[in-house]
Amino acid sequence: MPANSKKAVNPAQFKPGQSGNPNGRPKMPEELKTKLRQGASKAVEYWLELAEDAKAKPEHRLKAAEALVSYAWGKPIQQVDADINAQAEVKTMTLTMAEKLKLVQEAYEAAKATKNE
């Protein structure tokens, strides 16, 4: 192709200033939302049982613990200490598996107490 020729324009290509998705993301059907909400309590029960199951693999118990803690209290905030004139230093809080399992145990006990009320 000669250097001074223009590229062929693709008729399906978006024009400048025009949205590629003018109608936005499709809405989730209410029936599906309802089914997902109904299944959520089963998922939480499974995570609680798995976190307590001494026969389960530690990594599976840990993932269940992380899910429970994340949904109960939200994921921990990671603070970033940054100087715009220098490289950023990231500080994160890491918990040992024992600390995470302790948090899960506390969440489990709280959930049991709430359920029995």
- Per DSSP (E only), the strands in the chain are 80-81, 89-90
Structural domain harbouring 66: 30-116
pLDDT at residue 73 greater than cutoff 90: no
Condensed to tens digits (0 to 9), the pLDDT of residues 45-68 reads: 999 999 999 999 999 999 999 888
pTM of the model: 0.43
Residue 6 inside a domain? The answer is no
Residue 47 inside a domain? The answer is yes
pLDDT of residue 55: 94
Condensed to tens digits (0 to 9), the pLDDT of residues 88-114 reads: 555 566 777 778 888 888 888 888 787
User: Which among 107, 16, 38, 29 is positioned nearest to 68, based on CA atoms?
Assistant: 107
Residue 93 inside a domain? The answer is yes
Count of domains forming the chain:
1
Question: What percentage of the chain reaches a pLDDT higher than 90?
Answer: 21
C-alpha to C-alpha distance for 110 and 3, rounded to whole angstroms: 71
Residue 20 inside a domain? The answer is no
